[in-house]
Amino acid sequence: MIPSSMANRVVPSLLPQPYPNVRFPSHTDKLIPPTFSRKLKDCNMVLGIAGEMECKVSGSSPFTITWYHDGEEIQSGPNYEISFTDNNCTLKVPTLKLSDSGAYKCKAVNKAGSCETTATLLVKGIGTKEIKGKPLSLECIYSGTPKITVNWYKDGQQIFASYKYNITTTESSCILECLSTDDKEAAGKYTCEVSNDAGKDTCEANVSILGKFRCAVMLYFSVCEFTFKFHVA
């Protein structure tokens, strides 16, 4: 006979009990390591203007994003602006300097792993050089109210399309190609003049021979409503 003191006691059960507040992992909870769906690309940019590099990461969030320049970690500040929006990793340089040229890397890390993408940035400006013997290409980029007329000059003499020069014009740019590979013939002062009914503006580049290089020195002018950039391709 069971004593009355034990009659109302419940014997512990070893049977599994439901745990309504506990969430068990499933295959849908698997963490995905980061990958770059859009990678950094090598690029050339112009000295003195703003520059931007961008890539896009996918995988399980949250991510830790870190940027590097020539192996050194980049911090947001006056020289660099770093942002991460909708999985887009963006690095902005407010004003490009020649020292901003180099190798850039973006690294993404989450709990499942890490990945990185790299690219090279070349900042071109005063003193841009190219190997002698290559055809010279100068580009003038402009803006203004159409219709815009573009004229090229070398050492004060107007240049026309011929067997020596090829001129390609669009709504916002004009490219002058010096087809001769003779460096002495290519050297000189080049002027691009653009004009419309509102006025005109000019930009110049002095091309000279410097040792084994041909050097293009860009001179900037700003008149009326036009802006210009020169580069050697």
Q: Is the residue at 109 inside a domain?
A: yes
Using the 3D structure, point to which of 105, 124, 143 is the last residue of a domain.
124
Give the pLDDT score at 8: 58
* 4: helix, strand or coil: helix
- CA 168 remoteness from chain centre: 25
- Domain edge (last residue) among 124, 154, 186: 124
* Amino acid 133: pLDDT: 58
In one-letter notation, the amino acid at residue 89 is C
Token pair listed for 106:
């973006």
- Helix (H/G/I), strand (E/B), else coil: 96: coil
Question: In this predicted structure, what is the pLDDT of residue 183?
Answer: 66
Ordered per-residue pLDDT tens for the chain, 233 residues: 555 555 555 555 544 555 445 454 454 568 999 999 999 999 988 777 789 999 999 999 999 999 999 999 999 999 999 999 999 999 999 988 878 889 999 999 999 999 999 999 987 755 555 555 566 778 777 777 788 889 999 999 999 999 889 999 888 788 888 887 666 777 788 888 888 888 888 777 777 765 554 455 454 433 323 333 444 44
- Say if 12 falls within a structural domain: no
Domain assignment present for 108: yes
Residue 108 near residue 64, CB atoms below 8 Å: yes
Q: What is the domain count for the chain?
A: 2
| 59 SS3 class | coil
The pLDDT value given to residue 231: 40
| 99 and 151 in a common domain | no
State the pLDDT at residue 4: 56
pTM of the model: 0.49
Q: What is the pLDDT of residue 229?
A: 40
The CATH code of the domain that includes 41 is 2.60.40.10
